[in-house]
Structure 1
Amino acid sequence: MKKWLKISLITSGIVAAGVFGYGVYLYQSVKSTADQMYQPRNPVPEAVASLNPTGKGGHPRQPANLSGKEPFTLLIMGVDERSGDRGRSDTLIVAGVNPANKSVLLFNIPRDTRTLIAGKGTEDKINHAYAFGGVDMAVATVEQFLGTPVDYYVRVNMEGFKQLIDLFGGVQVHNKFAFASGGYQFDQGLIQMDGAKALAYARMRYEDPKGDLGRNDRQKQILEQLMDQALQASSLLRIESALKEVGANVRTDISFDDMKKLLTDYRADLKQLKTEEIRGKGTKMGGIYYYLVDEKERSRIHDLLEKQMEPVSGP
């Protein structure tokens, strides 16, 4: 065998071994971080029993089977943690993901929404559920409020929120009006923001004519941008860095195996993002501000979410 051919074969073997070795390292590294983030839920019996039956058969929807590319619901909780204090869920965003119709339905639950807190039997602001009972009580209260199961949750504290935005190169949004908040000036029109500035942008509500609803709109703007960037093929190269950076600030009941299925099987099918707003009215009760959502509106949101989760009929 010619010398150059031997050298080429040896070099190719070394390169292949290196690529394989890095692949094994990358897999183990990502798996280790994903395992650190994994935190399963403990169901709150009162909330499970209160879920409204769905579908004409009167049976609750079964948990999603990601291997079969079934639709699923996801609750994203942005938590403002403090030293020695669990904090409260500053943000509650529900996503209904359906690869069959290639869409995601996204809506915020206003943090001041007055509702029955699962497992406590008392009414309070929905964002207090996390302070009372952590992830389990927060998810159960949202399930109870919507009357439909939540398949998965992702809990992100605000430091992780900033890190994630920075890892994806920031976000660009169209700001409807100029304002100042958190030490930043936000001009009207198209603006580019890093993680810290985006957090200040998302948090402002007192100067917004829509109050908390305007704040919800800005949160959805940022989440839409992050989802769009995360679904791009080039972003897959950032998954290891993203998980390492935000791993300590994120908890979820999505397992590593399910994460892989979402990246490989679902990513290409989610082309359309639809947003909705929960309608209600603000009022003070005992000197405390609440956002009141009547039963008719809750039924409307429930039906929208259930419709989003239906399989597409036909060929």
Structure 2
Amino acid sequence: MARYKPKKKSRALRIVLFIILLLVVAVAGFGFSIYHNINKTAKNIHSPLERTPEVARPANLSLSKKEPFSVLMLGVDERSGDRGRSDSIIVMTVNPKKESIDMLSIPRDTRVEIVGKGIDDKINHAYAFGGVEMSMNTVEKFLDIPIDYYIKMNMEGFKEIVDAVGGVDVKNDIDFSVGKKHFPEGQISLNGSDALAYARMRYDDPRGDFGRQMRQRQVIQGVINKGANISAIWKYDDVLDALGKNVETNLSLDEMMDIQKNYKGARHKIDQYQIEGQGSKIDGIWYYLVPQEERERVQGVLKEHLNI
């Protein structure tokens, strides 16, 4: 009996299938490695809070049911022996059905009631007085919405996060320089050091702190966009290392995975807001004063986005 000789086409097919099998096994192993390292980083940055909310939800939040949620982002300048102050205060509300994120910057000099301290003071002093818990409670009362989660970021370490995702692209609307670095008007790419300088500049901006807040939101949006890109997977070690050293949150890994699964469409539409007010001195101290009507307007926007 003559031996059967497989056709070249069949041999080629088997080779292709074998290569695909090897790739699947390699990717599965890579995926396990990613999950293992993500799990480790998530545990390192996880810092839950025990607090009594100023604005309670009528029922417990369920991310698995795709309910809207809110996050307080605090950019903190921490110094040795000093808790520091929250240099950047941003509230994000995420609505999966609307597939959108609302991002509100609160000027750090805004005069508010500091919950737990019993005084009216600049909102960024809440962190200096009582850390994340007092900041969350103070922002909650000021905006009259529940704050579900927080993300605290070391501003000096923020440049490491930007570098880890491969830099960010922003549309700069004002020509300016910081030191020897020039930021021309138009679409520009920023590395970590440039992004930090870009986000912090305010004295050469006629809009003052509002311009700075806008640039902070731009950089954060750039990180969100880059972090969601498939190319970021290949830099996951750098990303996780930067997050582990510079970020703290009460989000658990399970909650992060629920957000990735149920809310990822929201990142494609990010609306940015600011609070209108005016600067004034009280007892010789400069504050940013927000009229009650403006405060209620902003509260209404956020409440509608949270479906409350």
Tell me what 2:34 maps to: 26
Does 2:286 correspond to 1:289?
yes
CA distance in 2, matches of 1:265, 1:40: 22
Greater mean deviation of Cα atoms: 10-19 or 255-264: 10-19
Tell me what 2:90 maps to: 93
TM-score if structure 2 supplies the norm length? Answer: 0.88
Tell me what 1:208 maps to: 205
Q: CA deviation at 1:235?
A: 3.4
Q: CA deviation at 1:15?
A: 6.8
Alignment of 1:1-315 (within 5 A): 19-43=27-51, 45=52, 48-49=53-54, 51=55, 60-310=57-307
CA distance in 2, matches of 1:88, 1:217: 20
CA distance in 2, matches of 1:236, 1:265: 20
Q: CA deviation at 1:237?
A: 4.6
Summarize the Cα distance change of 1:285–1:225 in structure 2 as closer, same or farther, 3 Å threshold. same
In structure 2, give the amino acid aligned to 1:158.
M
Deviations along 1:130-149, one digit per CA (max 9) or x if unpaired, are 11111111111111111111
Tell me what 1:57 maps to: none
Task: Tell whether the 8 Å contact from 2:76 to 2:154 is kept in structure 1 after alignment.
Answer: yes
Q: CA deviation at 1:234?
A: 3.8
Tell me what 2:8 maps to: none
TM-score if structure 1 supplies the norm length? Answer: 0.86
What CA RMSD, in Å, does the superposition of the two structures yield over aligned residues? Answer: 2.5
In structure 2, give the amino acid aligned to 1:198.
A
CA distance in 1, matches of 2:290, 2:147: 20
Q: CA deviation at 1:26?
A: 2.5
Q: CA deviation at 1:226?
A: 1.9
Summarize the Cα distance change of 1:207–1:15 in structure 2 as closer, same or farther, 3 Å threshold. closer
Greater mean deviation of Cα atoms: 239-248 or 28-37: 239-248
Task: Tell whether the 8 Å contact from 2:94 to 2:266 is kept in structure 1 after alignment.
Answer: no
SS at match of 2:156: helix
Q: CA deviation at 1:16?
A: 6.0
CA distance in 1, matches of 2:172, 2:20: 52
Task: Tell whether the 8 Å contact from 1:73 to 1:94 is kept in structure 2 after alignment.
Answer: yes
CA distance in 1, matches of 2:23, 2:46: 34
SS at match of 2:64: helix
CA distance in 2, matches of 1:215, 1:168: 22
Deviations along 1:267-302, one digit per CA (max 9) or x if unpaired, are 134431111110111011222211001221111111
Aligned length: 297
Larger radius of gyration: 2
Q: CA deviation at 1:244?
A: 2.2
Summarize the Cα distance change of 1:168–1:16 in structure 2 as closer, same or farther, 3 Å threshold. closer
SS at match of 1:276: strand
Q: Structure 1: any 5+ residue segments left out of the alignment?
A: 54-59
CA distance in 2, matches of 1:205, 1:131: 22
CA distance in 1, matches of 2:234, 2:61: 27
Summarize the Cα distance change of 1:21–1:231 in structure 2 as closer, same or farther, 3 Å threshold. closer
Task: Tell whether the 8 Å contact from 2:202 to 2:212 is kept in structure 1 after alignment.
Answer: yes
In structure 2, give the amino acid aligned to 1:120.
K
